[in-house]
């Protein structure tokens, strides 16, 4: 386990290496290796690909796409040669697909979350400017019922002032019935929040 204590005396994980491992269709057999997994979920266009690239310090490991909801695959990224897998789940709640298709996605995502023995935690991405949706609440409730820890990654916080960030942090935490410490304000474009996320990853891996 590569980790260091930073200047604020936080123990954080150091990401030295990140590689694309594989893409699988939701519902098919997922790689069942021995690495712990952290799944990353969120609505299409929330900034999931940008967040992953920011976290691993690469420009285009995760493909950002201008067509929301296009990616229907689960992408596995191997961190530090198999120390951890980041599991990029397909974005949910894309307005232009049918309800039937939305249900199918929800079931498949639920299937992954209930069947992966190595799943250690979930990052749920939400736009920091928006109040949480019913979809977000359902996912959180589901995760809690499964006893899977969840950290809320509020994206694009460069769009808010510091004052607005703290107001929205409270609103998001209240809206999802989680503590404020479980909400991390991040910005891929302004490079905000990475250390806090790396600290959470370290805690997840050491639990
Ligand atoms: P995904 O569909 O969830 O993977 O989202 P993307 O990473 O493709 O980003 C969706 C849109 O949000 C793109 O236009 C990005 O440029 C924009 N975006 C992503 N992260 C940030 C951020 O931290 N700040 C701002 N201002 N825009 C962002």
CB within 6 Å of ligand 1 — which residues?
44-50, 64-65, 68, 91, 155-156, 158-159, 187-189
CATH architecture of 7-205: 3-Layer(aba) Sandwich (3.40)
Instruction: Quickly state the pLDDT bin for 15 (edges 50, 70, 90).
Output: very high
State which of 14-18, 134-138, 155-159 shows the largest mean pLDDT: 155-159
Query: Quick one: average pLDDT of 34-49?
Result: 91
* Per-residue model confidence as pLDDT tens digits over 100-109: 766 777 777 7
Domain ranges of the chain: 7-205
Residue with tokens 């067509």: 67
Whether the predicted pLDDT of 184 surpasses 60: yes
CA distance 42 to 57: 20
Task: Give residue 206 CA to ligand 1 midpoint distance, Å.
Answer: 30
3 state DSSP class of 58:
coil
Determine the pLDDT at residue 67: 47
- Burial (0-12, 13-18, 19+ Cβ within 10 Å), 179: exposed
In a mutational test of the pocket of ligand 1, which residue from 60, 64, 68 has the highest number of ligand atoms less than 8 Å from its CB? 64
pLDDT tens digits, one per residue of 42-98: 888 899 999 999 999 998 888 765 444 445 678 899 999 999 999 998 876 655 556
Q: Which long-range contacts (CB under 8 A, 24 or more apart) does 129-132 make?
A: 129/156, 129/159, 129/160, 129/168, 131/171, 131/172, 131/175, 132/172, 132/175, 132/176
pLDDT of 118-156, one tens digit each? 999 999 999 999 999 887 888 898 888 889 999 999 999
Q: What is the pLDDT of residue 73?
A: 78
First to last CA, the chain: 13
Query: What phi, psi does 114 have (nearest 5°)?
Result: -90, -15
User: Could you identify the atom of ligand 1 that is nearest to the CA of residue 125?
Assistant: 3
Distance 187 CA to ligand 1 centre (A): 9
The angle that helices 162-176 and 134-145 make with each other, rounded to 10 degrees, is: 60
pLDDT at 39 over 80: yes
More confident residue, 120 or 26: 120
Distance 81 CA to ligand 1 centre (A): 27
Report how far ligand 1's centroid is from the alpha carbon of 84 (Å).
Answer: 24
Q: Ligand 1 centroid vs 133 CA: distance in angstroms?
A: 19
Q: How confident is the model at residue 207 (pLDDT cuts 50, 70, 90)?
A: confident
pTM score, two decimals? 0.90
Q: Among residues 26, 30, 35, 4, which one has the least CA distance to residue 199?
A: 4
pLDDT of residue 130: 96
Overall average pLDDT of the 5-10 stretch: 68
Q: Which has more pLDDT, 174 or 111?
A: 174
* Phi, psi torsion values for 177, nearest 5 degrees: 55, 45
Ligand 1 atom nearest the C-alpha of 45 is 2
| Two structure tokens written together for 52 | 């992953």
Question: How many Å apart are CA 99 and CA 104, to the nearest integer?
Answer: 9
> What tokens were used for 82?
């198999």
Residue identified by tokens 């232009």 is 96
Query: For residue 129, what is the DSSP state?
Result: T
Q: If you average pLDDT over residues 196-201, what whole number do you get?
A: 97
What is the residue with the minimal CA distance to atom 6 of ligand 1?
47
């Amino acid at each position: 386990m590569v980790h260091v204590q930073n200047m604020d005396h936080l123990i954080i994980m150091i990401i030295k290496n990140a590689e694309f491992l594989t893409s699988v269709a939701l519902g098919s057999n997922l790689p069942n290796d021995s690495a712990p997994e952290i799944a990353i979920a969120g609505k299409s266009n929330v900034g999931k690909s940008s967040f992953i690239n920011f976290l691993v310090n690469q420009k285009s490991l995760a493909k950002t796409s201008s067509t929301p909801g296009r990616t229907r695959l689960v992408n596995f990224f191997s961190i530090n040669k198999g120390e951890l897998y980041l599991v990029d789940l397909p974005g949910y709640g894309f307005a232009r697909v049918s309800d039937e298709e939305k249900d199918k996605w929800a079931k498949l995502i639920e299937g992954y979350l209930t069947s992966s023995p190595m799943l250690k935690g979930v990052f749920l991405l939400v736009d920091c400017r928006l109040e949480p949706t019913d979809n977000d609440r359902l996912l959180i409730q589901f995760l809690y019922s499964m006893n899977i820890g969840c950290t809320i990654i509020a994206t694009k916080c460069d769009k808010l002032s510091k004052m607005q960030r703290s107001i929205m942090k409270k609103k998001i935490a209240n809206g999802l019935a989680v503590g404020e410490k479980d909400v991390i304000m991040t910005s891929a474009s302004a490079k905000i929040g990475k250390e806090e996320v790396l600290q959470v990853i370290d805690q997840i891996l050491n639990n």
